Structure 1
Amino acid sequence: MNLTLFVVVLITAIALVAIALGIARLISPRSFNKQKGEAYECGIPTRGRSWMQFKVGYYLFAILFLMFDVEAVFLFPWAVIVQDVGVMGLVNVIFFIVILALGLAYAWKKGALEWK
């Protein structure tokens, strides 16, 4: 019963995606313009090469931001049910925060938080 239901849902999903893609291809306008292939940045025409290398510091900063953003996302549900989880829930969250603090200390020591 469960396998049959899974197969029906899978086939339905594949069919709906295929139908949606087919309809989009049929009714979408087809035109090519040279400007469509150019890089676009805030309405300013691109000067020079559009492929530039960025310093790795930008990516490290972004990853650290995401890491602590995800921490906040994980801590919010815990804060909502903090009274129901008991001491073990508190120990788990403290362990989670300690791991993140170690990651922050490592990034700080490596200089990932310095904006040069």
Structure 2
Amino acid sequence: MTEQRMYAVLHCEPCDECAHDDRQFIEDGQLSWESSYVCTRYDVRWSGRGRGVPPLPVRERIVEREGTVHLPVGGFGGVPIALLRQVYGLTVAEVVAARKAGYRATPVEARYLSGPTP
């Protein structure tokens, strides 16, 4: 379930003063994320937090900053197909493609999908 808090509602064009802070982590055994946005020029602030895979724009910024990890899917040593479907909500066609080519996950997602966390 996603929780979001909005502190101000103003129009803001992206500028040099806009700053995003996005992160993923594993909390209580669940994949989680946080995102915040601040623009000092227009005094806009936004933050969001949730469980599971972050919204696409947040995930894209994390991938841009941290890159991805290639994970094999299914079979011995691969990410279980059922887990991949549960976490990402993939269609059967997307699972078939991931089974053939593997799946690109963020480093935190890769840790989460690869096994239990200490």
TM class, shorter-length: under 0.3
- The TM-score, its normalising length taken from structure 2, stands at 0.22
By percentage of residues, which structure has more helix? 1
- The TM-score, its normalising length taken from structure 1, stands at 0.22
